[in-house]
Chains A and B, each alone.
Chain A
């Protein structure tokens, strides 16, 4: 199948996109060996540092959030593929400034495998490092089986919370505990109306009928949720908000973070319309939105749809979310 994408040789996609990212943000990040994107800031950092890993093709995730107050090094794999453990081991060693490293991994089979192999090496070498896994997709497993839950957009606010905690000079144990607390109280639901094209192979990643949508789409259209006829923005928002509130167990009087993350081909107009209704539904239940983001954080090429993310907030998490940061795609 012929792809209508502005690309060159598919073999060079990751390389070229990382070059572009660094050129566009050269005051914030630079490129290291083995597809590492490195924060310029921590050369002399005297604090815990943050390392993450993941495939490419999800821009701006993950490397668009490397910079002051968020991620120190991202290790990038090929399109939709995890990097190998050696690169992650090297990144963690490079990032370690003597205060230890928080290593954030999204729950996808390849990433988890690399994460386990990396930690094995890291422990063998006696490096102080704690791994936190983000796994918040409510559609493919109940909360009790968190190991089966995929990691979706929730990794991005987790980077922010952890990065800010590290910047405050907290110990690795404290930073990890805060990141884990945030991750334990978050949930995401994805909806898709049209699948994406794999930019290297041209393969279609999900097959949805002309008039269908699927709630619980996962990251790449793995499915697992409910395929149903297309609904309005308000109807869709209401279904999703209620599912997330129920999953996290948020009660009236509580405060939340709410993110609408466009998957790539859904307009900001649509995202804002959904956001507006989501806030309204929450308000009716006595739940206040104290932190938010509307826009693209983690995409899947031209997949149409969005991920709705919610997290229970407290004063400390809110302070960390609002703390300064300077990354290519999130600045505060």
Chain B
């Protein structure tokens, strides 16, 4: 199975649906040490993904669509989640070629490497800093290591992202408003890492 425009659109819509379903859960998690609005912002991002996918024009390739979608998401109000998610999602297209509308295993891997390099341009957060990066960094690593179809690669990334988000509960917060709570943050996962893992899980499950 390959990822073409139609499949990619389904993947994004599935991700948006998963995000919509978890908004309250995410806000609750965020309210422990953050503003408690992460779910609201994720809901806005998900709605924007759905809207933009529904308007995806025939002539626009995957790379350019993701670039536009990323820029639009950056403007979503509600703290840093908009710019971070915009970079993450726009980044998926960065290493794709113009006019490339069919992705196989190698293309799937490129999607994740581009995404990580864009994120690393704007944040120095590493795994263990208790930020959203706790999910995509292991996801990209897992994607690179996986041999198999593009579906296998997406599945490996989704699993690694989920494990990474789960592991974030063990860490002490090093960034953002939660940082001042230090050791108290142990035991609560990072809401951004969890929402990112939900997004990547949606991409994988949406590939059908």
Contact = CB atoms under 8 A, between A and B. Distances in A.
Interface string B165-187: 00000000001110010000000
B121 A110 contact: no
A116 interface: yes
B87 to A, nearest CB: 7
A142 B82 CA distance: 31
Contact of A114 (B76, B78, B83, B180): B83
Given A109-B80, A110-B79, A117 B74 contact: yes
Nearest to B83: A113
B74 A85 contact: yes
Interface residues of A, number: 18
Interface string A162-198: 0000000000000000000000000000000000000
A120 B120 CA distance: 13
Interface residues of B, number: 20
B77 A78 contact: yes
Contact of B77 (A77, A117, A120, A222): A77
Interface in A97-130: 109-110, 113-114, 116-117, 120
Contacts of A117: 74, 83, 86-87, 122
Nearest to B78: A81
A222 B76 CA distance: 24
A223 B180 contact: yes
A78 B79 CA distance: 9
B75 interface: yes
Contacts of A222: 177, 180
Contacts of A328: none
A86 B121 contact: no
A81 B74 CA distance: 13
A60 B80 CA distance: 24
B175 A109 contact: yes
Contacts of A229: none
Contact of B84 (A78, A86, A113, A223): A113
Interface in A219-252: 222-224
A116 B75 contact: no
A116 B122 CA distance: 6
Nearest to A78: B77
A109 B175 CA distance: 9
A87 interface: yes
B176 A86 contact: no
Interface string B60-73: 00000000000100
Contacts of A84: 74-77, 82-83, 86
B124 to A, nearest CB: 9
Contact of B80 (A78, A86, A110): A110
A71 B51 CA distance: 36
A51 to B, nearest CB: 17
A82 B71 CA distance: 16
Contacts of A81: 77-79
A109 B174 CA distance: 12
A120 B180 contact: no
Given A113-B80, A116-B122, A117-B83, A86 B177 contact: no
A72 B122 CA distance: 27
Which residue, A113, A120, A223, has most C-beta atoms of chain B within 10 A? A113
Nearest to A111: B80
Contacts of B80: 82, 109-110, 113
Which residue, A84, A87, A109, has most C-beta atoms of chain B within 10 A? A84
B35 to A, nearest CB: 8
A86 B175 contact: no
B145 to A, nearest CB: 29
A120 B75 contact: no
A87 B177 CA distance: 24
A205 to B, nearest CB: 11
A84 B83 CA distance: 7
Contact of B71 (A86, A223, A224): A86
Interface in A41-96: 77-78, 81-82, 84-87
Nearest to A117: B83
Interface string B114-126: 0000000111000
A116 B77 contact: no
Interface in B70-105: 71, 74-80, 82-84, 86-87
5 contacts: A84-B74, A87-B75, A110-B79, A117-B122, A222-B180
Given A81-B79, A84-B83, A85-B83, 13 more contacts: A78-B77, A81-B78, A82-B80, A84-B74, A85-B74, A109-B176, A110-B79, A113-B80, A116-B121, A116-B122, A117-B74, A117-B83, A120-B121
